[in-house]
Structure 1
Amino acid sequence: MSLRLSTVILPVDRWHEGGRAKWQRAEELGFHTAYTYDHLSWRTFRDGPWFGALPTLTAAATATERLRLGTLVTSPNFRHPVTLAKELMSLDDVSGGRLTLGIGAGGNGFDATALGQEAWTPRERADRFAEFVPLLDRLLTEGAVTQDGDFYAAVEARNIPGCVQRPRLPFVVAATGPRGLRLAARHGQAWVTTGDPKLFEEGTPQQSDEALRGQIAKLGAACDAIGRDVAELDKVLLTAFTPDRSTMLDSVDAFVDFAGRQREIGFTEIALHWPIPDSDFAADQDVFERIATEGLAQLG
């Protein structure tokens, strides 16, 4: 099974003071996709610079030629399917069909209540997500959409001429629960996970690998239930949230060991955070770049 390597560039740099250079360097290093978080603020970066995801990706589209671009992930916390679809269609056009949408149900904290709403329960988030994804799918594939749902409405919402990518740009659906996995099976071209959060602090790499195997098995069951081959979906692991997060970027050999295990589990893409000094994503830049250029070749 082949394995792709991607990166996540957080939108913390002014575009003309290092921002553009990172995206161009990601292309030079040969990453498959460069993603960014679609948040209004995020955890330890909350009181520092943080720019919008879609404007950043639009700028990156004009500064690169081959690199795929994407969100990891967009959520209903502050997005509406109608306006989001228009922006995604436009960005897919600007990028020449290089856009991927990572999409998830969202969580609490950070920016989840930035628009003044009460924090949603997990069930409320799942309910909204279950309506958000199918409506967004329609908006990106049909010329005009009218729909009146429990949470979202569209009235003759038009997206003409549609996406460059047909029938629409690909969805990477973030999910671990049964409802989200069903959405991934039905609407996703890929599925993404960060692993089992219960193992983040005290779990072992072996426990994490077993949990990831279990998640992929559940994705397979969700696909079987609708007659879809799970092999049609790419499986993406967003790193830095599993027990071996502190060692996997220590050396090329450490990464090769980690990546080999994930490939054996069934992942087809690994996303590494671009190093940010003095943060949760601190790493040696030279080692990171060697991993980008040598890691998969050593994996064989």
Structure 2
Amino acid sequence: MTTRGITVLAGSLAETVDITTAAEAAGFDAAWSGEFLNRSAVVSVAAMAAATRHIGVGTAIAYAVGRSPLVLANDARFLDELSEGRLTLGLGTGTRGMMVGWHGVKDPDGPASRLEELIPLLRRLWRLHEEPVVHEGRFYSCNITPTADIEPPLRPEIPIFTAGVNPRMIEVAGRVADGLVCHPTLTDRYLADVARPAVDRGARKTGRDPGAVKLKGVIITSIHDDPAQARREAAAQIAFYVAPKAYGPVMEASGFGEEAATIQTAFRAKDHDAMVAAVSDRMLDEMAAAGPLDEVRQRVAALEKRYDHAALYSPSFTMSAERVRENTMNIIEAFSR
């Protein structure tokens, strides 16, 4: 059975906590927070964990770049302690432009290899109480000998999920992670033709069971009595994600290359209306659940079958903060248990 969560990627820290406590009261299995130019996943999840007692909490995603391995390991260690073992650490690198422009990464090549080096290193750092950690790799260097007794972490194995869109990044989950954070624009076709085979390839290369790698999906969800408004909100979020050129091949593999090209042209022209208009009905229905309440419930039930865990997520691109909050609370109420 697919477990269900809520994803928060917009709003203040206080709103994030309010949404998480509401989701816990409604019986959701997990609440997730990502980060962006103006948002910290680590601080958000700390606040979410402190305000709740039962619901799982996770970063989806925290940037794996811009933090040293030791800082990231300790962030996760204490988030897991604060949540009493409820943390899932979701990691990603962002785009090449984000790595360079936002995080000051001097060598943005090989983001998949970077994660494959980082994740085993994090697991070693969680066992620093057992032995020193000496590591010299392509991306990271550590030479850490404890100078005092170090207590073991609450859990020696914190679940780690990695985000991936292109096949090589998806392979990372198969090689070294516990799960894959699937992109909101994933389709049945892309899952069958690209994502699952990539997870399988990665797992085989490191002698792991592909079936042990969990799939976490993010379902764009918009509930409104006016179907046109709900669909426009969801289409705007899809267009936002598809706008970078890097997503052209992904959309082509899903059968939406023509729509993606039109969206990207409109994005370069800063024409938001044209971006939204370029999202076809078929594309929207493959990637989102949007419309009146009953229709959304049916669509979510169909889409979440793809995943081991499905996190519902309000669109926010071109929407007011008030409408994002309203929609998020409507989602929680609609899917309460």
TM-score range, shorter chain: 0.7 to 0.9
User: Aligned-pair distance for 1:239?
Assistant: 2.6
Q: How many residues align?
A: 268
How do residues 147-296 of structure 1 correspond to structure 2 at under 5 angstroms?
Answer: 147-156=135-144, 160-165=150-155, 167-194=156-183, 208-214=187-193, 215-240=195-220, 243-244=283-284, 248-265=289-306, 267-274=307-314, 277-278=319-320, 282=324, 284-285=327-328, 287-293=330-336
Q: In structure 2, what is the Cα distance between the partners aligned to 1:134 and 1:286?
A: 38
Cα offsets for 1:151-208 (capped at 9, x unmatched): 211111659433323x3110112124444334312322211111557xxxxxxxxxx2
Higher helix share: 2
Are 2:137 and 1:137 equivalent residues in the alignment? no
Q: Matched residues in 2 for 1:38 and 1:284: separation?
A: 20
Aligned to 2:3: 4
Task: Show the 5 A alignment for 1:70-109.
Answer: 70-109=58-97
Question: Cα gap change, 1:210/1:115 in structure 2, threshold over 3 Å: closer, same or farther?
Answer: closer
CA distance in 1, matches of 2:8, 2:305: 26
Deviations 1:41-84 (A, max 9, x none): 1xxxxxxxx34221222122111100111111123331221111
Deviation of the 1:257 alpha carbon = 3.5
Residue pairs, 1:25-44, within 5 angstroms: 25-39=22-36, 41=37
1:99, CA displacement in angstroms?
A: 0.8
Q: In angstroms, what is the RMSD of aligned CA positions?
A: 3.1
Change (3 A) 1:160 1:239: farther
Q: Measure the CA separation in 1 of the matches of 2:137 and 2:314.
A: 39
Identity %: 22
Local SS of the residue matching 1:89: helix
User: How far apart are residue 112 of structure 1 and its match?
Assistant: 4.8
Query: In 1, distance between residues paired with 2:315 and 2:185?
Result: 23
Can you list the C-alpha shifts for 1:203-223, whole angstroms capped at 9, x where unaligned?
xxxxx2211222123313332
SS of the residue corresponding to residue 239 of structure 1 reads strand
Residue segments in structure 1 that go unaligned for 5+ positions in a row: 42-49, 198-207, 295-300
Q: Which moved more, 1:134-143 or 1:62-71?
A: 134-143
Structure 2 counterpart SS, 1:26: helix
Looking at structure 2, the residues matched to 291 and 74 of structure 1 have their Cα atoms a distance apart, in angstroms, of 28
TM-score, normalization by structure 1: 0.76
Structure of larger gyration radius: 2
Contact 1:182–1:222 (8 Å) recurs in 2: yes
